[in-house]
Amino acid sequence: MEFSNRLKNLPSQFFATLVKKVGDAVLEGRDVINLGQGNPDQPTPEHIVQALQEAAANPLNHKYSPFRGTGEFKKAAANFYKREYNVDIDPETEVAILFGTKIGLVELPLALMNENDLMLLPDPGYPDYLSGVGLANVAFDTMPLLKENNFLPDYSSLTEEQKQKAKLMYLNYPNNPTGAIANLDFFQETVSLAKEKDIAIVHDFAYGGIGFDGEKPISFLQADGAKDVGIEMYTLSKTYNMAGWRVGFAVGNAKIIEAINIIQDHLFVSLFPAVQDAATVALNNSQECVKELVDLYEGRRNALIESCNSIGWQVNAPKGSFFAWLPVPDNFTSEAFADLLLNEADVAVAAGNGFGGYGEGYVRVGLLVDEVRLREAITRIGKLNLF
């Protein structure tokens, strides 16, 4: 039996290849410092775990969940947006519960687009955006994220044809992989373009809780008119170290939210109510755990940048997310440099070209090991005398 054409259209999984390379090295008995992953290394805060334990023991949670999620979780999402961003959200019509935001990002083209409609995607960007392209059999063009433009897309570089044809645009700030952040002026420009050309906007706010140097990342929905044109997806994976819990939500434009809810009515019966109860506690209770986590990442970022500078590797400090986007030395491609670090220094990084053509010339480093291991990794790289 053959796979369907839809399955054949899916891109190869970039991270699966990286995991295999690292796994093979570890099996050889090598002490690999893995900076290529995007998996939070800290445990979920204890009060959230306790909330899950209590909710899991409640027999009412052993039944099917409401199709579109619990009212309490949707209200918590709305309250969170009001408290954190001063954005008003209607929990009944402007919130969709997600099995992690990857699900939402991949399923949305199926819900909003017809075959061969055009999407606009950031380059470099999260590789799994392309999974939605393949499943929906839509076309896509990329928007280059360049250092000289602070890794923001330059809308003036889009052709008039692209602007007219585009039905959907994905953005992501704080950005994976570059660590860049966006400002309100950029989001306001995005809203203006979307209204003028009738483009739906999806802002992937996965790293919304992680900003450095006292700067809190802003929400796309803080721009005037943002809810008229788009939505934002927020995952609890990064802010609360709940990656394995697979829980997030989308908020914003009621029509787009309804599209998500309709497709999920056919694919899922929402997620385990106990997980939703624990997520409600995470959003509603003290946010001190988030502050502590951001402080931890900022300390790791500072250790990384200081260590890079000490070996002559001139890099820029990320302003958000738990990634750093580091230039490769002259005469190396991203992949060749990443392979060299793994083979010669037992340090794993993610090659930038895995995130798109404009990722060439960079590697992505995760701040997901402790400061001692980060410094050790850079010391090992320094011994290669590349800088």
Q: Which of 374, 218, 289, 275 is nearest to 56 (CA)?
A: 275
Same-domain check for residues 231 and 260 = yes
Which pLDDT score, from 0 to 100, does residue 9 have? 85
Domain, as residue range, for 377: 5-44+288-382
Asked if 163 contacts 142 with a C-beta cutoff of 8 angstroms, the reply is: no
Asked if 162 contacts 141 with a C-beta cutoff of 8 angstroms, the reply is: yes
Burial class for 135, CB neighbours closer than 10 Å (0-12, 13-18, 19+): middle
Same-domain check for residues 93 and 11 = no
In the 8-state DSSP scheme, what is residue 211?
B
How does pLDDT run along the chain (387 residues), one tens digit per residue? 999 988 988 887 777 778 888 888 889 999 999 999 889 999 999 999 999 999 999 999 999 988 999 999 999 999 999 999 999 999 999 999 999 999 999 999 999 999 999 999 999 999 999 999 999 999 999 999 999 999 999 999 999 999 999 999 999 999 999 999 999 999 999 999 999 999 999 999 999 999 999 999 999 999 999 999 999 999 999 999 999 999 999 999 999 999 999 999 999 888 999 999 999 999 999 999 999 999 999 999 999 999 999 999 999 999 999 999 999 999 999 999 999 999 999 999 999 999 999 999 999 999 999 999 999 999 999 999 999
Q: CA–CA distance from 147 to each of 177, 243, 385 (Å)?
A: 12, 29, 26
Question: At residue 377, what is the residue type?
Answer: A
Crossing angle of the two packed helices 371-382 and 288-310, in degrees rounded to 10: 20
Same-domain check for residues 257 and 341 = no
Whether residue 58 is contained in a domain is answered as no
Whether residue 50 is contained in a domain is answered as no
Whether residue 254 is contained in a domain is answered as yes
Q: How far is CA 381 from the centre of its chain?
A: 27
DSSP-derived 3-state class of residue 349: coil
Cα 362 to Cα 123: distance, rounded to the nearest angstrom: 13
At residue 293's C-alpha, the angle toward residues 285 and 237, to 5°, is 70
Which pLDDT score, from 0 to 100, does residue 45 have? 98
Crossing angle of the two packed helices 101-112 and 129-136, in degrees rounded to 10: 30
Same-domain check for residues 238 and 306 = no
Same-domain check for residues 316 and 268 = no
Same-domain check for residues 219 and 329 = no
Dump the DSSP string for 244-280: GG--EEEEE-HHHHHHHHHHHHHH-----HHHHHHHH
Same-domain check for residues 89 and 127 = yes
Structure tokens at 288: 């001190």
Same-domain check for residues 280 and 297 = no
Domain limit, last residue, from 243, 267, 284 = 284
What is the CATH classification number for the domain harbouring 211?
Answer: 3.40.640.10
Whether residue 52 is contained in a domain is answered as no
194-207 burial code (b ≥16 CB/10 A, e <16): beebebbbbbbbbb
Number of domains in the chain: 2
Whether residue 51 is contained in a domain is answered as no
Domain limit, last residue, from 247, 269, 284 = 284
Q: Which of 311, 383, 378 is nearest to 347 (CA)?
A: 378
Cα 105 to Cα 94: distance, rounded to the nearest angstrom: 17
Same-domain check for residues 124 and 146 = yes
Residues in the chain: 387
DSSP-derived 3-state class of residue 284: helix
What is the CATH classification number for the domain harbouring 360?
Answer: 3.90.1150.10
Whether residue 107 is contained in a domain is answered as yes
Whether residue 113 is contained in a domain is answered as yes
Same-domain check for residues 193 and 325 = no
Whether residue 189 is contained in a domain is answered as yes
Structure tokens at 171: 């953005």
Same-domain check for residues 118 and 197 = yes
Q: Which of 292, 268, 263 is nearest to 107 (CA)?
A: 263
Structure tokens at 108: 């949305």
Q: Which of 18, 21, 33, 23 is nearest to 345 (CA)?
A: 33
Which pLDDT score, from 0 to 100, does residue 15 have? 76
Domain limit, last residue, from 284, 300, 332 = 284
Cα 247 to Cα 12: distance, rounded to the nearest angstrom: 25
Which pLDDT score, from 0 to 100, does residue 20 have? 86
Same-domain check for residues 304 and 250 = no
